[in-house]
Amino acid sequence: MRIRRGIVLPAFFFIFVYGSGLFFAPRAEAAFGISPPFLGSDNLIPGTRYVQTIYLVQDQPTEDLAIDANLDIHDRIRSWFTIHNGNEIVIPKGTRQFPVEIVIQVPKDAQLGAYKGALTFVGKPARTGQVTIALGAEVTINLTVGTGIYRKVTVQLIRMLDIEEGWSPRVYVKFNNEGNVPEALDGATFDLYDQYGAVRLAYIPSPKGKMPETPPFTVKEYVVEFPLDLHLGLGQYWGSVNFSQEGKVIASQRTVFNVLKRGSLSTPFEKFMQSFQNQLAYYVIGAIIVIVGGTFVVRRRRRL
C-alpha cells in the first residue's frame, strides 16, 4: 500500500501541475491585419482624385473592436487625405473585413515630387493582466505626383442581362480605369443568335448613345443597350458582344440571355411608363378620329 501511495500522490501532483498548465494555457488571441498594406500611386498628376480602400481584417470578431487611425505624413500633404470612416473606427461585432476608404485629393497647384508616410491602425483592447497586448498594422504610403499621362483600362466583367419582350439587348459592363486620365469604351458590336447559337438573327453595330466616361482611378459599372428593330419573342437567345477602344477589341463575351414576359423585370415606375407608352397609340388614334369626325360634322352643319 505504501508503495502505491508513493506512486499515486506524486502522480496526482504531476497531473495537477502540468494538467492545469494545459487547461489554463494562454489561449490563442485574435489575429489582426490590413489588406493591402500599401497606399498610393506612382501616376498621380495635379488635380487627381485617388480613392483606395484598405480592409481591416480580423478572424475572431466576437466583440466590437475600437481602432484608432493615425496618419504620419508631412504637414504639407496632410490636407490631401481624408479617411471617410474618420480617425476613430469601431469594427462591429461579427465583421471580419471592415473597409476603410481613403481619398487623396491632389491639389491643382501641388508640387511635383515623391511623398512618403504611414497610416497606422491601432487596436484599443480592454485591459487584461499587467501588460495588455494590443495589435496594430501599418500601411506604407507612397505617392508620386508628376505630369506624365498614364493609361490603363480593363473590363473586369461583362454580363448579358435578361430582358423583357420588346426591349433591346442589354449588356452589363464593369470598367476599371487604372490610369490618370478619363477613359471610355469607344465602340461595341452585338450579334444576336437563336436559342442554339446557330443562326444569326441580327447584327447591331453600335450601342444606343455614347458609352459613359470613367474618371481616373475609378471602377464604373453601367449597362449598354443595343437598339434592335426586331421583336424578340419569349425564350432564350445567344448574344456575342465585343467592346473596343481605339479600334482594338479589348473585351468580349458570348453567352445566352432570356427574353421574359413583359413586366417581369420592370420597376413599378417603368411598368407605369410602359403601360402609358403602349396606350399612347390608341389615345392618338382616338384623338384623330374625334378631330376628323368633329370637323366633318361641323362642315356638314355649315352647309345645311
Contacting positions for another protein (CB under 8 A): 26-38, 55, 57-59, 96-97, 120, 122, 124-125, 127-138, 140, 152, 154-160, 174, 176, 178, 195-197, 235-236, 251, 253-256, 258
Q: CB of 166 within 8 A of CB of 231?
A: yes
3-state secondary structure of 188: strand
Work out whether the CA dihedral 56, 60, 62, 67 comes out positive or negative. Answer: negative
Q: Which one, 152 or 299, has the nearer CB to another protein?
A: 152
Residue 181 C-alpha from the chain's centroid: 20
Residues whose CB falls within 8 Å of the CB of residue 279, separated by 6 or more in sequence, listed in order: none
Q: Which one, 57 or 90, has the nearer CB to another protein?
A: 57
For the bound state, the minimum distance from the C-beta of residue 235 to another protein, rounded and expressed in Å, comes to: 6
For the bound state, the minimum distance from the C-beta of residue 45 to another protein, rounded and expressed in Å, comes to: 18
Q: How many residues appear in the chain? A: 304
Q: CB of 143 within 8 A of CB of 40?
A: yes
- The gap between the terminal CA atoms of the chain, to the nearest Å, is 142
For the bound state, the minimum distance from the C-beta of residue 134 to another protein, rounded and expressed in Å, comes to: 5
For the bound state, the minimum distance from the C-beta of residue 122 to another protein, rounded and expressed in Å, comes to: 6
For the bound state, the minimum distance from the C-beta of residue 33 to another protein, rounded and expressed in Å, comes to: 2
Q: Which one, 80 or 243, has the nearer CB to another protein?
A: 243
Q: CB of 51 within 8 A of CB of 84?
A: no
Q: Which one, 27 or 300, has the nearer CB to another protein?
A: 27
Q: Which one, 29 or 270, has the nearer CB to another protein?
A: 29
Q: Which one, 11 or 234, has the nearer CB to another protein?
A: 234
For the bound state, the minimum distance from the C-beta of residue 249 to another protein, rounded and expressed in Å, comes to: 13
Phi, psi of 27 (to 5 degrees): -75, 155
Question: Where are the alpha helices (H) located in 28-114, listed in sequence order?
Answer: 75-78
Amino acid sitting at position 173: V
